[in-house]
Structure 1
Amino acid sequence: MPDLIIRPARVDEYDEIARVWMESWVSTGLAQASDFLLANLRARVRREIEDGWSLFVADDQGTIAAMLALHLPKHYLDMLFVGPAYQGQSLGRKLLAFTRTQMPDEIDLRCVRENEKAWRWYEREGFVFEKEEVEPSNGFVMKYYRWERKGSSP
């Protein structure tokens, strides 16, 4: 991955970003790949950008390896999904380091409770569990986390 760069996503990449998102989500075992899921994610990418997402990709010489969606005004890491072919190569850690350059003092996120691999990783990366709540739109129990730079709290 030496030539991999993190950069803002382009509009012409939104469909491919949705595909990477779906493949990564399916790799958790929490969903099955389908045309329906892919269509929903394609629509959601556009809707979320209109609602304030800053969308980034990890670009491996023209191949989208991962997607990262931040809501900067809310200090919110909304989505971090690494394509299955790139998992286990510290790309998530690189995306998180990039996130900390964009939101250096505090980051909030949520993670599906059943995605234990993800929330345990966030905990190892210094995020502190705050609460669990059911997400009404999909029925998943979400675990909410927060990270603050040492010395940044009031």
Structure 2
Amino acid sequence: MTTSYPVIRPARPDEYDEVARIWMESWVSTGLDTASEALLTKLRDRVYREVENGWSLFVADDGGRLAAMLAINIPMMYLDMLFVAPEHQGCSIGRQLLAFTRIVLPDEIWLRCVRENEKAWRWYEREGFVYEREALEPAMGRMMKYYRWKKAI
């Protein structure tokens, strides 16, 4: 890893497989799942599908190595995914991606976190997101915590 901050830029289609790998490794680092070829395939397929369905997909490029992924649904004001590769966690890349998201969505941002991923939702709360509700996500079979950030007037 370089000593400067990574560059946030749009992901290229030839990087989608690497984006899926980062997503899987970061998700697995929460302890909520186990790495597997099946999980990687599922996430890879989802990256392609979600980009077709409106994701604006960004990466944090650390000198040619991808350090993180960020997926935003701009029309819905929704931060859908923010995952930092385990070897880059704790280096403020998440904060950099969140600051970037606030530039793209300057007035309001919605997101959700898996309830069991306490590290993530506590981080979003520290970053000014307000808990709105909790609901079961049928596709995942997990309880999700929904959050909103609104620009101070």
Is this a same-fold pair by TM over 0.5? yes
| Contact 1:20–1:65 under 8 Å retained in 2 | yes
State the partner residue of 2:25: 23
Spell out the pairing of 1:81-96 with structure 2 (5 A cutoff): 81-96=83-98
| Contact 2:133–2:147 under 8 Å retained in 1 | yes
**Counterpart secondary structure, 2:75:** helix
Give the whole-Å Cα distance in 2 for the aligned partners of 1:69 and 1:17: 10
**Counterpart secondary structure, 1:122:** helix
Aligned partner letter, 2:7: I
State the partner residue of 1:41: 43
**Counterpart secondary structure, 1:73:** coil
Give the whole-Å Cα distance in 2 for the aligned partners of 1:64 and 1:18: 11
Give the whole-Å Cα distance in 2 for the aligned partners of 1:4 and 1:49: 22
Give the whole-Å Cα distance in 1 for the aligned partners of 2:77 and 2:131: 16
Give the whole-Å Cα distance in 2 for the aligned partners of 1:122 and 1:130: 12
Aligned partner letter, 2:35: A
Alpha-carbon RMSD: 0.6
Give the whole-Å Cα distance in 2 for the aligned partners of 1:142 and 1:8: 27
What whole-Å deviation, never above 9, does each CA across 1:80-109 have from its counterpart, x for those lacking one?
Answer: 000000001111000000000000000000
**Counterpart secondary structure, 1:85:** helix
Give the whole-Å Cα distance in 2 for the aligned partners of 1:55 and 1:71: 9
Aligned partner letter, 2:11: A
User: Does 2:145 correspond to 1:143?
Assistant: yes
State the 1:4 CA deviation.
1.3
Give the whole-Å Cα distance in 2 for the aligned partners of 1:63 and 1:140: 32
Give the whole-Å Cα distance in 2 for the aligned partners of 1:80 and 1:3: 16
**Counterpart secondary structure, 2:99:** helix
State the partner residue of 2:118: 116
Aligned partner letter, 1:60: D
Spell out the pairing of 1:59-98 with structure 2 (5 A cutoff): 59-98=61-100
What whole-Å deviation, never above 9, does each CA across 1:19-68 have from its counterpart, x for those lacking one?
Answer: 00000000000000000000000000000001100000000011000000
User: Does 2:53 correspond to 1:51?
Assistant: yes
Q: Runs of 5+ in structure 1 lacking a partner? A: none
TM-score by length of 1: 0.97
What whole-Å deviation, never above 9, does each CA across 1:95-128 have from its counterpart, x for those lacking one?
Answer: 0000000000000000000000000000000000
| Contact 1:3–1:61 under 8 Å retained in 2 | no
Q: 1:6 to 1:40 in 2, by over 3 A?
A: same
Q: Runs of 5+ in structure 2 lacking a partner? A: none
